[in-house]
Amino acid sequence: MIEMLSKLLFTFLQIGLFSIGGGYAIIPLIQEQVVGKYGWVSQQTFTDIITISQMTPGPLAVNTSTFVGIQIAGVWGAIVATFGCVISGIIISLVLFSFFQKYKQSIYVFEVLNGLKSASLGLIISAAATLLLLTFLGTTSFEMDSDIDWIAIVVFSVSLFALRKYKLNPILLMICTGLLGLIIY
Amino acid sequence: MLYHKIKIYFWLFGINLFISSFTFGGGYVVVPMIKKYFVFNKEMFSEDDLVNMAAIAQSTPGAIAINLSALAGYKVAGILGAIISCIAAVIPPLIILAIVSVWYTTFSSSTIISAVLKGMQAGVAALIVDLIIDMSQMIIKRKSILLTAMIPAAFFASFFFNINVALILVLCCLLCLAQVYSYKGGQSK
């Protein structure tokens, strides 16, 4: 048991450390390790795990590692896998943040941070483009024959308007759009 | 003083538990939520601070939502604040998945849940576009051609060419450093 847990911890430490960009970037890494290298779960189970992780709240990486951990070594497996997956990111973020705070007078540090901001925004737009395609067309590839989901476009437009104009509470928005989905679909 | 500190720790724990329970559709939705509760409601730090934190959370390994929770907690209440925030942020997914894993085949084929999620997807998309508009305004306001041009460049590199995220981030930092260097060099002449 201890041996299994330490193997889990080491594997997820590795996954956490090499997954820059969050969310979807982490999935192929986990798949390579737990399906390919160790064979802890089958490909079918792994696909199910991704589906479930997307359906439940919380960051995708945390959900996926929690679920894989449970499948392999129960609740302790889940805790160990999650811990391994997030700890390196937390430590590196904190170190980088204190570094930027300490040297924020330096023009070099200031400009690097500005560069990171611009690049991050570009990456967020990229994630948003994928999400918009998925929401409006139900697919991420450009195909002429895919059906346009007009309801989703209306819900999106009204939500965006409410956010811009009335600074609507994001959590309230999630609840409202969730309920709308339940009624419409 | 001690009472005040303990109160902040409890608040951090509660708010991260709450935010994490509503994080559907990826880590980026945490940014508007932190903005709502930390920046607007409690005025614990500025929107500019939040954008800095988001950029750091995005540029380091791991889950963006968790990294951002850690940074917000650290900014408000130091290392202990960061630890409390992270623990609170991973508790909801841990509990929910522990329960769901017992009967996950029924769960994943449930039409009710997939309908709710389909509705939420449009809401999440709106939240992220709202965030993009805010961030763009902040960056374009600086009137730097390089910083403004980097936004579409990073987007094209990632979306159309699938270039590695780490590579994009490093290149953008180097470009900024090169700009400062040439600017400073020009000044000393």
pLDDT of residue A88: 92
- Chain B residues with beta carbon closer than 8 angstroms to that of A58: 20-21, 23, 65, 89-90, 92-93, 96-97
Which pLDDT does position A144 carry in this prediction?
58
Say how many CA atoms lie within 13 Å of A134 toward its Cβ: 16
The ipTM assigned to this model is 0.87
Question: What per-residue confidence (pLDDT) applies to B189?
Answer: 42
- Three-state SS for chain B is CHHHHHHHHHHHHHHHHHHHHCCCCCHHHHHHHHHHHHHHHCCCCCHHHHHHHHHHHHHCECCHHHHHHHHHHHHHHHHHHHHHHHHHHHHHHHHHHHHHHHHHHHHHCCHHHHHHHHHHHHHHHHHHHHHHHHHHHHHHCCCCHHHHHHHHHHHHHHHCCCCCHHHHHHHHHHHHHHHHHHHHHHHHC
Model confidence at A167, pLDDT cuts 50, 70, 90, reads: confident
Q: Which two tokens stand for residue B41?
A: 């409601």
Long-range contacts of B78-82 (CB under 8 A, 24+ apart): B79/A94, B80/B9, B81/B8, B81/B9, B81/B12, B82/A90, B82/A94
Name the minimum distance, in Å, from the CA of B137 to any CA of chain A.
11
pLDDT at residue B68, as a whole number: 94
In which residue are the tokens 């070594």 written?
A73
- How confident is the model at residue B72, as a pLDDT? 96
Using pLDDT thresholds of 50, 70 and 90, give the confidence band for residue A142: low
- pLDDT exceeds cutoff 90 at A57: no
Nearest beta carbon to residue A59 from set B23, B127, B166: B23
Q: How many Å apart are CA A13 and CA B167, to the nearest integer?
A: 21
User: For residues A26 and A41, is the Cβ–Cβ distance under 8 A?
Assistant: no
* Confidence at residue A41, expressed as pLDDT on a 0 to 100 scale: 86
Q: Which residue of A114, A136, A153 to mutate against B (max B Cβ within 10 Å)?
A: A114
Is the Cβ pair B133, A179 closer than 8 Å? no
Take residue B93 and report the two structure tokens written for it. 């997914």
- Are B154 and A119 within 8 A, CB to CB? yes
| Least CB–CB distance from B22: residue in A157, A174, A180 | A174
Structural domain boundaries in chain A = 2-102, 129-184
Distance CA B123, CA A135 (A): 10
Taking an 8 Å cut-off on Cβ atoms, the answer to whether B165 and A25 are in contact is: yes
Above 50 in pLDDT, residue A181?
A: yes
Quick check: B63 and A71 CB within 8 A? no
Q: Render each residue's pLDDT in chain B as its tens digit; 189 residues.
A: 789 899 999 999 999 999 999 888 777 889 999 999 999 999 999 999 999 999 999 888 888 899 999 999 999 999 999 999 999 999 998 888 888 877 777 777 788 888 888 888 899 899 999 999 999 998 998 888 899 999 999 999 988 988 888 889 999 999 999 988 887 765 554
Contact B45, B75 (CB under 8 A): yes
d(CA B40, CA B46) in angstroms, rounded, equals 9
Instruction: Name the burial class of residue A71, with classes exposed (0-12), middle (13-18) and buried (19+) by CB atoms within 10 angstroms of its CB.
Output: buried
Predicted pLDDT of residue B98 = 83
Whether residue A33 is predicted with pLDDT greater than 60 in this model: the reply is yes
- Nearest by CB to A22, which of B64, B121, B123? B64
d(CA B118, CA A135): 8
Q: Provide mean pLDDT across the span A52-56.
A: 81
Q: Where are the beta strands (DSSP E) in A38-83?
A: none
Q: How confident is the model at residue A48, as a pLDDT?
A: 81
Determine the residue among A13, A102, A117 to mutate to test chain B binding: the one whose Cβ has the most chain B Cβ atoms within 10 Å: A117
Report the alpha-carbon distance of residue A29 to residue A112 in Å, rounded.
28
Q: Mean pLDDT lowest for which of A145-149, A178-182, B45-49? A: A145-149
- Comparing CB atoms, the residue among B51, B94, B128 nearest residue A66 is B94
Q: What is the predicted pLDDT for the residue at B2? A: 85
| CB atoms A22 and B155 under 8 Å | no
Residue for token pair 């508790």: B91
Chain B residues whose beta carbon lies within 8 Å of the beta carbon of residue A160: 126, 129-130
Nearest CA in chain B to A19: B61
CA proximity to A124, closest of B37, B24, B152: B152
Nearest to B126 among A66, A89, A160 (CB): A160
pTM for this prediction: 0.88
pLDDT band for position A21 (50/70/90)? low
| A122 pLDDT tier (thresholds 50, 70, 90) | very high
Contact across the interface for B58 and A90, Cβ inside 8 Å = no
Q: What is the pLDDT of residues A59-107, one digit of tens each?
A: 888 888 888 898 888 889 999 999 999 999 999 999 999 999 899 888 8
